[in-house]
């Protein structure tokens, strides 16, 4: 009988590591360049870090990405390394505590979602700005920032599936099936966004624009991972999903119109045009079956679902304010211009 030695871990795949933005992120980066198990400096703590700042948000992003596609040259065993998980838990506590304060007082899921269903007479956000007066360079910046989200769009939501039952699980799977292309790889929404990026002459590689993305964008991406990785936050993840699907359709319509106005290619327009109809359907399923089903089986999660909705709106509004402030001043919204 012959035995085969286990294959050596593949450290070659994944995006390259970004540059650090402070002590926390540099500590995590330094650790990830070494074999898993290398001790972290004892003095490093997240106790006083800005919960929304570049340093903590990048450090969290680095930890979370180990659960997705990892990084080139990084030992995959870091994913579950206890020392790194302890530091991540400190950062998550800072982040989650700030979110619970800033997202507003507790309320019901019904109230939180009802507010999202009322479209302002005169919307004032990035999609409206881009529709009416955005220039091609601003659309390119928007796509580069959002690529951190859209190139993994449905992945963190999939973590909630084994934590749901009955109606909520069946409906969640139905929507995710759509997000993942309904069995057709060329229709996966992340792939459609990569096609949009190619149309706008952007690099389509996963994680390529991490270094140029601002902390406000990292916060949005990290929110999904925070909610998705913790079973205790399953209600918040469902609330996040509901908020995204409820607000996506009208915003996508505006972005598609803006892209047509500036003469973007068909793939760029198609990504948002596709979401106008698809997300209008998804919104109904998510509100009635995913949220409704979860509340029927676990009514105690009502305020958690509302928290997920409100936290999503909070972080999205922060990014929107940053983008509009920069663009109205005629300057880049990125850390470094494209």
Pure H helices in the chain: 23-32, 54-65, 82-102, 109-116, 126-132, 136-150, 155-158, 166-179, 189-199, 215-229, 234-261, 266-285, 292-297, 302-328
Q: Provide the 10 A C-beta neighbour count for residue 263.
A: 9
Residue spans per domain, the chain: 23-101, 107-328
Whole-prediction pTM: 0.94
Q: Which CATH class is domain 107-328?
A: mainly alpha
Please write the tens of the pLDDT for every residue from 7-65: 445 556 789 999 999 999 999 999 999 999 999 988 889 999 999 999 999 999 999 99
User: Rounded to an integer, what distance in angstroms lies between the CA atom of residue 197 and that of residue 209?
Assistant: 12
Amino acid 8: pLDDT: 47
- Return the structure tokens found at 260: 């047509």
Average pLDDT of adjacent 10-residue blocks, the chain of 338 residues: 45 86 96 94 90 98 97 97 96 98 97 86 84 97 97 94 97 94 93 97 97 98 98 98 91 95 95 83 91 98 98 97 98 96
Q: Find, among 159, 116, 120, 140, the residue nearest to 255 by Cα.
A: 140
Q: How far apart are CA 141 and CA 92, in angstroms?
A: 28
């Amino acid at each position: 009988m012959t035995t085969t030695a286990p294959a050596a871990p593949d450290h070659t795949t994944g995006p390259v590591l970004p540059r650090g933005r402070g002590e926390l992120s540099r500590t995590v980066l330094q650790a990830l360049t070494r074999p898993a198990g290398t001790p972290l400096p004892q003095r490093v703590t997240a106790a006083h870090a800005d919960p929304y700042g570049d340093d903590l948000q990048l450090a969290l992003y680095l930890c979370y990405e180990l659960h997705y596609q990892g990084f080139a040259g990084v030992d995959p065993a870091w994913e579950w390394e206890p020392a790194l998980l302890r530091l991540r838990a400190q950062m998550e506590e800072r982040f989650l505590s700030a979110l619970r304060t800033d997202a507003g007082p507790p309320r019901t899921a019904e109230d939180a979602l009802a507010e999202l269903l009322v479209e302002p007479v005169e919307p004032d956000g990035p999609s409206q700005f881009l529709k009416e007066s955005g220039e091609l360079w601003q659309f390119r910046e928007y796509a580069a920032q959002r690529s951190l989200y859209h190139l993994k769009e449905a992945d963190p939501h999939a973590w909630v599936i084994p934590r749901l039952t009955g109606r909520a699980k069946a409906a969640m799977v139905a929507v995710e099936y759509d997000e993942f292309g309904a069995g057709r790889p060329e229709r996966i929404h992340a792939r459609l966004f990569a096609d949009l990026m190619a149309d706008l002459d952007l690099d389509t590689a996963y994680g390529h624009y991490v270094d140029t993305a601002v902390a406000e964008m990292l916060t949005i991406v990290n929110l999904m991972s925070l909610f998705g990785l913790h079973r205790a936050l399953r209600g918040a993840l469902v609330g996040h999903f509901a908020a995204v699907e409820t607000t996506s359709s009208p915003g996508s319509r505006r972005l598609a119109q803006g892209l047509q106005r500036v003469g973007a290619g068909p793939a760029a327009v198609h990504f948002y045009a596709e979401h106008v109809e698809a997300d209008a359907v998804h919104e109904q399923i998510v509100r009635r079956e995913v949220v409704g089903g979860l509340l029927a089986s676990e009514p105690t999660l009502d305020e958690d679902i509302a928290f997920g909705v409100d936290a999503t709106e909070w972080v999205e509004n922060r990014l929107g304010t940053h983008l509009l402030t920069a663009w109205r001043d005629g300057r880049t919204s990125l850390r470094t211009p494209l």
